[in-house]
Structures are given as structure tokens and as C-alpha cells.
Structure 1
Amino acid sequence: MKKWIVTAILALVVGLLAACGGGSNQQNAATKKIIVGASSVPHAEILNHVKDKLKAQGVDMEVQVFDDYVIPNTALEDKKIDANYFQTVPYLEDFNAKHGTHIKALDGIHLEPMGLYPGKETAKQPKKGAVIAIPDDVSNGARALKLLEAQGWFKLTPNKKLNDLTKKDIIENPNNIQIKEMQASMLPRAIGEVDYAVINGNYAMEGGLTPDKALAMEKKGSDAAKTFANIVAVKEGDENREEIKKLMAVLKSDDTKKFIEEKYKGSVIPVF
């Protein structure tokens, strides 16, 4: 009789332990983890803002910060991360073409308006031979040239694809403006060495430059805003993953829009 009771108790304990273990496994299975690569400002800050909201939907997101424009894409191609958030469509298209990568753009989240900032010169019209620093990568360099053309400082070859534009396409240059190409991240630190600089919004913020200090800025609703919105990107085939869809939903929420507008005060503009 005692043996039967002991056996029954053991069976009950084993059953309870199995049930507890099964519940733990189900909970772990319900929570998906993703790693998203991002530039530190503003991308990582925006991602960290939505982190808790995403976790409430069963997605645990790790934000991995990168300080360049190459590794976030190679890491995505190699599936070391699940998504990245730092680039524009023209940059991505050029990167895919040059590196044979298979990265797909999702929706745009924000615009970091590129600005024309004074360096050694503050005049709204350049002097003869003025030196202007611009980013040295293809898409941002072309974007900078288009902003300068919009100010009437020179004219570019018409009807040319954006990613094909270079400083060699300056066809009318009455003030003999000299274009100096530099790594985008270096521009805020080098601004005192040139007459003007055209700087990406994220690097301008990191260098303490605000829109009120710029001589010209890209505007919300402009062609630049449509073309150069910063997008979330994934490896081709991952765009329909449920956790990626949930990430996009929280990024494009009214709460995120309010966060961007209040925190960055025009240095970053939501585009959704």
C-alpha cells in the first residue's frame, strides 16, 4: 500500500515538473529576438524608444550600434543581424550594385535633412574660389551637389541619374567653386578648414550643428524628403517575418512621430 502511494506521489511530481518545463519552453518560443544595426544618432535612439513597446508584442530587440555605412550592410547580408536602420534607398541601391548584396528596403521612417553650413565664410553667396566640403560617398555626394544647385551656386548636367552625379557634372560655375570630398562623419570637425560644408543631419547633430545655423536645408515634403528618407532594411526574403512587421508598426506609430518631433526639433523629420 505504501509503495503504491510513493509511486503515485512520484508520478504526480514528475507530471508537475514536465508541465512547468513545457510552460517555460512555450514562453521562450513565444518571445522572438531580433538584432537591429543602427547609427548611434538618431537611429539607435529611436529604436531604443520603441524597444519596450516591441517587447510587449513578444519581440525582444537588441540594438547594435555601428559607426560607419558599410558594416551594417555586410552584417545584414551575412545574417549576423536581422535588420538595419541607417541608410537611404539611393545609398542602398548603389551598395547592392557594387557589392552584390541582396538587401531590400522597407518603408521610410525619417529624413535627416542635409544642410549647408558656414565654415570660414558666412555669406549666403560664395566668394570666388570658395571651397565647399561634401560627403565622399556616391549618393550623399550627389545629394549635396543638388542642394548647392538649388541655391543657384552652380548648375549640374541635367536629366542625369542621381547616383551618376559627381563634381565633374558641374557645367556652369561662375564663382569657380571648389568641391572637396570627405568622409561624411569627418565633416563637422573639418568645417573650420573650408568655406562651407554640406553635412548629413545625423553627423550635424553629433557635431552640435542645428538647423538654425544652416544657410539652407532640405525640407519636409520636398523631392529630397521622398528620395532620402532613412529606411529600415532587411535581407531579401525576410520582409514578411512577423517580428519585422511588428518592428515597422511601432516605428511608424503616432507615439514615435511625437518622439522624433519633440526630441530633434527639426534636425530629424518623420516622413510617415
Structure 2
Amino acid sequence: MKNMKKILLSIVSLLLVAFLAACGGKDTGGALSEDKLVIGVTAGPHEQVMEKVKEVAAKDGLEIDIKVFTEYVMPNTALAEGELDVNSFQTKPFLDNVVKERNYDLVDIAPTLTFPMGIYSEKFASVDELEEGAKLGLPNDPTNGGRALILFQSAGLITLKDGVGDQATVKDIVDNPKNFEFIELEASQLPRQLDELAGAAINTNFAIEHGYVPTEDSIFIEGSDSPWVNLLVVRGENKEDPVLEKLLKAYHSDEVKQFIEETFSGSVIPSW
């Protein structure tokens, strides 16, 4: 009987420890710290720019802890769940789609960068050279997929149904003169799969990460007037927190703008 009591006490103790541990995660409620932010970015240019922002912000007493992601799903999940205070990697259409699908309370607070999407090819030097029935890759998420289709249309490769805008899918192609086959892949995988495709529409951050120089290596690219501006995003409850003013002051500084212009030579555009 004594042994049984000891076993029961041990089980209760373990359950109590587990409960306390489960309650020890980061609370998603409440104000942000006044002097430290945890910011999520995607690898590549967003990471490089945020490292510069971190350097500038430190002069104003703001510490930035950068968390790097290699895809587009987890930065919003991590922000919504309180593992991040801010993220920097997405456009307004992408954010709106995530908020609608997952019911996250996330809002944008400021513009950051524009990454002109380009069409890349290991086999052809011009979109005019693409052959009948060629396989073209594009991102498989709704926002970037629609953007890629608009890019293909701008390049004269297809025609989309009137009025579909950035909600376009491959089902909205109404004219495909060369009978291109469209292969939808996760955005970060497109550079790695490019040698198996005739061409692909690739987001600039992933193109740069793979070693491409968008203004030199793409065979067609969005113009400098691209409306696809990236954003700083926070939880709705924190959008008025004073610490964010320090972040914006650092990010929108002349020092950061100069860094972007000198580092990326027009492939990444400061958009404030």
C-alpha cells in the first residue's frame, strides 16, 4: 500500500510539473518590451536588411533578436502564437489571405521593401525563346501564384480572364498560344527545380538566396512600379506600442536605405 501511495504521489508530481511547464510558454497578450523585439524574417535580403536595422536600432537603445525562416508559413504562425513580436517578409495580399484563412489577428504597420518578381531560365535567354509546350514553374500559394500569372501575362506568354487580378489561378488562363504547362511548387523550391523546367517565376528573395542577380539573370522582371510592397507586421493588440516607433525610425533611416541601394543594386527597392 505504501508503495502504491508513493507511485500515486510521483504521478501527481509529474503531472503538476508538466502543467506548470505548459503554462510557462510565452504569453501572446500584453504590451511589447520597451527595449527589445523578436523579429522573424525570411532568409536572404530580408535577413540582410534586418541585420542592418538591428545595428541602427542599437544606437537608440533597441535590441533586436532576429529569427530566420526558410518558407512563408511559419513566420505568421509564430507571430500569432507569440513567439515573435514582429515579422518582415510579406506583401499586403499575402497577409490578407492568411488573416482570412487562419483568422489571425495580424496587422501591418509600415512598408519596407519591394522585390520585383522575375522569370528565370537555365535554358533560354528570352521569354520569346520558350518553346511550344514548355513547363513553367510558379509558386503554389494563392498570392504569389496570382502574382506570377500576372507576370507571365505581362511577358506576353498568356492572357488571363478580365478582372481576376491577383486572385488569378491557372484556371483563369483564357489564352495560352504555346500551350505552356504550369507547374505549381512551393516558392522556395523553384530555384532548386529550375533546371527541370523551361522557366519559372521566382520571388526575388529566393532568387538572390540561390545566387541569382535579378536585374541581370532574369529573362523578364516586374518594373520598378511594382505594387507588391513588403510590410512590417505585428499582432493587432500591439500596433500602437511605443517601441514600434523605434523600430520604424531605424528601418526607415537614410542609413538603411543607403545600405539597400548599395547592396542590391536595384534588385531590392526601399519603399518608404
Q: Same fold (TM over 0.5)?
A: yes
Deviation at 1:31, TM superposition (A): 5.8
Q: Could you say which residue in structure 2 is the equivalent of 1:213?
A: 217
Q: Which amino acid aligns with 1:64?
A: K
- Which structure 1 segments of 5+ residues have no match? 1-29
Between the aligned partners of 1:246 and 1:74, the Cα distance in structure 2 is 24
Please state whether the residue corresponding to 1:186 is helix, strand or coil: helix
Q: Could you say which residue in structure 2 is the equivalent of 1:124?
A: 127
Deviation at 1:58, TM superposition (A): 2.4
Deviation at 1:203, TM superposition (A): 0.5
CA displacement 1:80-101 (0-9 Å, x = unmatched)? 2110001111111111111111
1:120–1:193 contact (8 Å) kept in structure 2: no
Q: Could you say which residue in structure 1 is the equivalent of 2:250?
A: 250
Q: Could you say which residue in structure 2 is the equivalent of 1:143?
A: 147
Between the aligned partners of 1:194 and 1:77, the Cα distance in structure 2 is 36
Between the aligned partners of 1:103 and 1:140, the Cα distance in structure 2 is 19
Between the aligned partners of 1:270 and 1:31, the Cα distance in structure 2 is 26
1:119–1:197 contact (8 Å) kept in structure 2: no
Q: Which amino acid aligns with 2:258?
A: K
Q: 2:46 aligns with which of 30, 43, 48?
A: 43
Match runs of 1:176-255 below 5 Å: 176-210=179-213, 211-220=215-224, 222=225, 225-226=226-227, 228-255=228-255
Deviation at 1:33, TM superposition (A): 1.4
User: Does structure 1 residue 99 correspond to structure 2 residue 106?
Assistant: no
Between the aligned partners of 1:66 and 1:243, the Cα distance in structure 2 is 23
Identity %: 33
User: Does structure 1 residue 155 correspond to structure 2 residue 159?
Assistant: yes
Deviation at 1:61, TM superposition (A): 1.1
- TM-score, normalised on structure 1? 0.84
Q: Which amino acid aligns with 2:256?
A: T
Please state whether the residue corresponding to 1:267 is helix, strand or coil: coil
CA RMSD of aligned residues (A): 1.4
2:150–2:165 contact (8 Å) kept in structure 1: no
1:133–1:194 contact (8 Å) kept in structure 2: yes
Between the aligned partners of 1:207 and 1:120, the Cα distance in structure 2 is 17
User: Does structure 1 residue 261 correspond to structure 2 residue 264?
Assistant: no
1:132–1:178 contact (8 Å) kept in structure 2: yes
Between the aligned partners of 1:181 and 1:240, the Cα distance in structure 2 is 39
Q: Could you say which residue in structure 1 is the equivalent of 2:13?
A: none
Between the aligned partners of 2:89 and 2:112, the Cα distance in structure 1 is 10
2:126–2:220 contact (8 Å) kept in structure 1: no
CA displacement 1:88-135 (0-9 Å, x = unmatched)? 111111111111111101221111111011233334312211110011
2:45–2:205 contact (8 Å) kept in structure 1: yes
Between the aligned partners of 2:170 and 2:116, the Cα distance in structure 1 is 21
Q: Which amino acid aligns with 1:148?
A: F
CA displacement 1:161-198 (0-9 Å, x = unmatched)? 42x31011000111111111011111111111010111
Q: Could you say which residue in structure 2 is the equivalent of 1:6?
A: none
2:127–2:155 contact (8 Å) kept in structure 1: no
- The verdict on how the C-alpha distance between 1:155 and 1:31 changes in structure 2, with shifts beyond 3 A counting, is closer
- Which structure 2 segments of 5+ residues have no match? 1-32
Q: Could you say which residue in structure 2 is the equivalent of 1:81?
A: 84
Please state whether the residue corresponding to 1:127 is helix, strand or coil: coil
